[in-house]
Amino acid sequence: MAAPVSNGEELELHVDSLAFGGNGVARLDGFVVFVRRGLPGDTVRARVTKVKRGFAEATALEILTAGPDRVVAPCPHFGACGGCRFQDYAYDRQLESKAAQVRDALVRLGGIAEPPIDPIVPAASQYHYRNKLEYSFTQTPDGPALGFHRAGRWDEVLPLEVCLLTTDLGNRIRDAVQGWAREEKLVAYDQTDQKGYLRHLVFREGRNTGQVLVQLVTAKGKKFEEGYLVEVLRKFPEVRSIHWAINETPAEITNLPTVLLWGEDAIEEEILGLRFRVRPNAFLQTNTEMAETLYSIAREFAGLTGSETVYDLYCGTGTIGLTLAPDALTVWGVEISEESVACAIENAELNGITNAAFFAGNVSLALEELQQRAGQPDVVVVDPPRAGLAGKALRRLGRLRAPRIVYVSCNPTTLASDLKSLREDFGYELVRCRPVDMFPHTPHIETVNLLERVERPADATPPDEG
C-alpha cells in the first residue's frame, strides 16, 4: 500500500504523543508521521521531509493550535539553534515523557511486563547546567563568530548572542575569544568548501572549583600570535589552562592532541568530595550537579559493605569507581582509552585512594585476565557508550556471574536489549531502575539500574562464543 503522503507536501496534523528521540507522533488515517517541533496536543501545519514505507517524517512550519503544555522558550535562539529543542515544553511534562520512554523501552524491547522503575529524578537546574561546551566558528560580515549548528543543518552555524546552558562566565569568555578573532582578522573555517582557519572553541569549567580550561581548534598552520590570545584569556582569573589543537581532517572533531599555550595542563573538578583532574580530552559528565546525583544512586544500588571486590567497566577517568572505593575492599577499572586510564590513576593518587587500580584494555578482551588478577567480582558497574554493551562484552559480563550488576545507561533502547540478554541467557533480573534527568530540554535520559542474578544450573549458561 502506497504512503498517503508525498515528500514536500504540507499537511495539517494533530500531535498525540512524543516518540523516542523527541519527535511528535501524528497519524493521518492511521499512517504515522513523526513531526519535528511538534508537541503533544499541538495542531500544526507541517512539511513532509521524508517518506518511508511505514511512516513519514515532517517538520512543523506553524503551530495552528498550541497544546496545553507548550510554554514560551526563554532562549532568543530557540528553534533556529539545534540544541535545547524542548525549551517550549513544560518541564514536568518533559519528565513524564522521558520516564514513559524508559518504561516503553523496557516493556517493548526488554520484555519486562512490569519494570520496577523508580520516580524520575528531576534536574537540580534547568538552565546554566553544562560544564562543557563546544562552539563552532562561522564567518559573518562582521568577521568570525562563534555558535552552534542550525537545527537540521551540518553545514551552517548559527552565531550566538547568549547560551542559557553555560554560565555568565562561559558567555563572556566566548565573546572575548570572538572579539580576539575579529581583531586579529582571522577567518573561520567553512565546512562546505573546507577553507579557512578557525574551527572550534572548547570551554570547560570546574563548577565546584571555579577553574576554567579553554581549547582553540584550528586548521593546520599557526596563524595567530599565541601571546595575545593568552593575554585576552588571562583577563579572566578563573582561566587556568589554555590549549591549542590542529584538525587537518574534514571531520568536525575536538578530541585531538593539544599544545599547552599557558597554565596548567589540566583543571580540577570536585564531585562528592573527591577531586578530579580534567584535561582537554578527558570524559566527565557535562552536568556536575547531576553527576553527583547519578554517582550517589550507583553507590546506593551497589550496596557496598566494605568487603566487596568491584569491577568498574568502561571506567573512563575513574569517577564512578573512585566514589565507590571508600565503601569497597577493592575497585578494578577497565577502559579502552589509555589517556583516560592515566587520568584515573592520577585521580586515585590525587585523592589518596589506594584500593583502586585501573587498566587500559578492551572490556570484551580484558575480563578473563582481570578475573585471574582480581578474583571473582561481587559487584560489577558498567557505564557503556550509547551503543550499549558489545556482543562479546555482554556475554563475558554475564559469564562472570557477579551477584549484582549496576548498569548506568544513557540510551533506554540499548539498555533494554542488553537487559533482555542478561535475563534470558544469564539469569539476571532487573530489581530497580531509576531515571535521572541530566539534560533538561533535550530528549536524552540517563538511568541507573540494579540487576541481581538468580541462581540456576550451570549448564544453562550458554557457551562463550569467543
Query: Which domain CATH number covers 136?
Result: 2.40.50.1070
Last-in-domain residue among 49, 70, 91: 70
Q: How far apart are CA 87 and CA 2, in angstroms?
A: 36
Q: What is the pLDDT confidence band of residue 462, given thresholds at 50, 70 and 90?
A: low
Are 370 and 437 contained in the same domain?
yes
Could you tell me if 294 and 440 lie in one domain? yes
Looking at the structure, do residues 199 and 247 belong to the same domain, yes or no? Answer: yes
Angle at 130 between CA 35 and CA 319, to 5 degrees: 115
Is 406 part of a structural domain of the chain?
A: yes
Residues 114 and 205 in one domain: no
The answer on pLDDT for 457 being more than 70 is no
**CATH number of 408's domain:** 3.40.50.150
Q: Is residue 45 part of a domain?
A: yes
Asked if residue 459 has pLDDT above 50, the reply is: no
pLDDT of residue 458: 54
Task: Return the CATH number at 58.
Answer: 2.40.50.140
Q: Give residues with Cβ within 8 angstroms of 259, minimum separation 6.
A: 243, 244, 245
- Residue 461's pLDDT band, with cuts at 50, 70 and 90, is low
Catalytic residue annotation: 410
* Residue whose C-alpha cell reads 546525583 in the numeric block: 293
Average pLDDT over residues 424-437: 97
> Domain for residue 373, yes or no?
yes
* 259 bridge partner residues: 244
Region at 375 (left for phi over 0; alpha for psi -120 to 50; beta for the rest): left
Report the domain count for the chain.
3
Across the chain, mean pLDDT equals 94
The whole-number pLDDT of residue 464 equals 55
292 and 246 housed in the same domain: no
- The DSSP letter of residue 37 is T
pLDDT attached to residue 22: 84
- Could you tell me if residue 82 is inside a domain? no
165 with 112, same domain: the answer is no
CA 155 remoteness from chain centre:
22
The pLDDT of residue 151: 84
The answer to the question of residue 81 being in a domain is no
Does 116 share its domain with 66? no
Residue 391 belongs to a domain: yes
In a domain, residue 106? The reply is yes
- Residue 205: is its pLDDT beyond 70? yes
In a domain, 28, yes or no: yes
Residues 63 and 116 occupy one common structural domain: no
Beta-ladder partners of 276: 269
- Say whether both 224 and 294 belong to one domain: no
86: its cell numbers = 524542548
Same domain, 142 and 170: yes
- Segment 219-244 shows an average pLDDT of 97
Q: Are 73 and 86 in contact, with CB atoms under 8 Å apart?
A: no
Question: For 121-175, how does the pLDDT look when each residue is reduced to its tens digit (9 = 90+)?
Answer: 999 999 999 999 999 999 999 999 999 999 878 789 999 999 999 999 999 999 9
pLDDT exceeds cutoff 60 at 300: yes
Is the model's pLDDT at 221 over the cut of 90? yes
Q: Residue 45 and residue 35: Cα distance in Å, rounded? A: 10
The number of helices, as runs of H, and strands, as runs of E, in the chain is: 9, 21
Q: Grid coordinates standing for 186?
A: 582571522
pLDDT tens digits along 170-188? 999 999 999 999 999 999 9
| Same domain (yes/no): 414, 318 | yes
Could you tell me the residue range of the domain that residue 372 belongs to?
Answer: 99-124+287-460
* Mean predicted confidence (pLDDT) in 187-200: 95
pLDDT band of 456, cuts 50, 70, 90? low
pLDDT in tens, 48-107: 999 998 899 999 999 999 999 999 999 999 989 988 989 999 999 999 999 999 999 999
Share of the chain above pLDDT 90, in %: 89
The phi and psi torsions of 423 (rounded to 5 degrees) equal: -75, -50
Interval 322-371: pLDDT, tens: 999 999 999 999 999 888 899 999 999 999 999 999 999 999 899 999 99
One domain, residues 393 and 445: yes
Closest CA to 15 of 46, 51, 49: 46
> How far, in Å, CA of 352 to CA of 346, rounded?
10
